[in-house]
Amino acid sequence: MSEQELRPAYDDESNGDELKRGSIYKQTRARKADIAGSFEGKKDEWPVEKKQRVGKPAEVDAEGNVVPKPVRLPKRKVAVMVGYCGTGYCGMQYNPPNPTIEATLFKAFCDSGAISQDNANDLKKNGFMRAARTDKGVHAGGNLISVKLIIEDPTIKQKINECLPEGIRVWDINRVNKAFDCRKMCSSRWYEYLLPTYSLIGPKPGSILYNDIEQSKKDLPGVLDEDTESQQFWAEFEKLSGETFSDDEIKQIRAYTPPPKEEFSDSEELYLKVKQYKQLENKLRRKYRISKEKLTKFRSAMKQYINAHNFHNFTLGKDFKDPSAIRFMKEIKVSEPFVIGDAQTEWVSIKIHGQSFMLHQIRKMISMATLITRCGTPVERISQAYGPQKINIPKAPALGLLLESPVYEGYNSRLEKFGYDPIDFSKYQNEIDAFKMKHIYDKIYKEEVDDNVFNAFFTYIDSFNKVTGAVGEENETKKGNNVQKSIFEFLTAHGIPGIDSDGVKSEKGDLKEATNTASPSTATGATSQENSGEAPAEAAAVDNATVEGA
């Protein structure tokens, strides 16, 4: 008996006829019949059949021989750990035709074979993303890029570094999972700011800010500190300048106003005396060594930033009621003073560990704490700045700012579960420190000495109202509160308008607490765009630091 005969028979076996009895089948047959009938006898009008896709014609050389196609190697999602000196670059982010860190890195990836020529014309094809965007001239000891690279070659890191200038280095290339985004997965960031300690010397006697502070002491005695250290510094400078110049010469120097450019002459006698006078002041600033009391005051001011606060006054384009203005600072360290460079200038290093940063936030934080210290203002004034009252906080120079490293505490555990190495910059700390000393710190120290960046900044701040005419004058239409007061009134004994010594709005105001603390969970984390530190001024609402912007 055959196998077919041995098979059991079932009553519900199908021969496919029932599939031809449905309404859909009948409609399909009808449509086919209609189409066929409409073109009956009109073969030229039958629908044209789709042509099969034909690939690009093979490339041939000059002799007509087919050029073999390069072998397509797989791309892998990786995290590239980099460090760079921002001098000479228009920031981190790719922005043609301007020279940027990303443009230089991308070219090195292509030249080294980490990115194929087919994908060498667009960053998006390779999933290019940075952890923090730094501003023009801002440096980074460690930053992270997530990108798809060809990493079959075990020496690919060395080849990439060979294609890069000395001021940009790749520390490591780590495999990550496909969903990894270096910006969104970043839990926090470390920034460093280098500050010469002479920045904490009080305003120069006779300057606008100095006069405002002294007058406020008479109006409200006992509010501001008596800064004997700064008084001694300026008394010593007065003595040295008196030994070098006559009283009439000092009066002429202080009253000197540079002529128009076309009339300026660097050989003019008065200009040479002004130059000598400033050199004498700069020389004395270089010799300045901060006291323990003033350093303690500065550290107390910086501690006011720890935890979650409303930093709307420390950025641009943010309103007090904007939830994204609340940021969480985890840790802040101020180093012991150290003397470095040929000019023997004393510096301190400030390290800030925050969940995320807004445009110019770090530079304004440093500026506020520095101004509070040099003016003898109560450190609680920083907490009051978290309130609804809008105040103008200047930005400290970008020169001292650098991104230390992004942190991936939460995501590292997930990477390890996927079988990948955690992202840890500390493994390369010795290399990073050597790189920072050679390509970042030395440039900062040299530029500060050559251009007197911080001295110029604080000299401008001390005379800001005189330079800009920021203080209004009373007239028939504007009197009393309608007249604009000093833009840095919050540094004097009078304090932030409408806030009493307890840090709350007076009865004339809102009776709302000026300080605004919140739990870390309410602080804004990684947002739609990153800054670091500190981005261009036009991008007022950009978040996360760059480099300053952070």
Beta bridge mates, 123 = none
d(CA 123, CA 126): 6
Q: Determine how many CB atoms are found less than 10 A away from the CB of residue 69.
A: 9
Task: Tell me how far CA of residue 411 lies from CA of 181, 287, 414, in angstroms.
Answer: 10, 47, 5
With a CB cutoff of 8 Å and minimum separation 6, the contacts of 510 are 388
d(CA 135, CA 333): 23
- Helix boundaries (H) for 61-207: 101-112, 156-162
Strand ranges inside 183-325, DSSP E: 188-196, 307-310
With a CB cutoff of 8 Å and minimum separation 6, the contacts of 74 are 150, 152
N- to C-terminal Cα separation, the chain: 87
Q: Please count the CA atoms within 13 angstroms of the CA of 538 that sit on its side-chain side.
A: 0
Beta bridge mates, 188 = 407
Active site annotation includes 135: yes
CA 246-250-253 angle, to 5 degrees, is: 135
CB 433 within 8 Å of CB 176 = no
CB 81 within 8 Å of CB 170 = yes
d(CA 531, CA 270): 45
CB 445 within 8 Å of CB 340 = yes
Largest CA distance in the chain: 133
Running DSSP on this structure, what letter comes out for residue 173?
Answer: E
**What is the number of H-type helices and E-type strands within the chain?**
16, 13
The verdict on whether residue 191 carries a ligand-binding annotation is yes
| Six-digit token string for 127 | 């999933």
CB 186 within 8 Å of CB 410 = no
d(CA 200, CA 297): 10
d(CA 145, CA 435): 19
Three-class secondary structure of residue 504 per DSSP:
strand
Q: One of 11, 122, 135, 450 is an active-site residue; which one?
A: 135
d(CA 363, CA 333): 16
Q: Residues comprising the binding site for substrate?
A: 191
Q: Residues comprising the binding site?
A: 191
> Which residues are identified as catalytic?
135
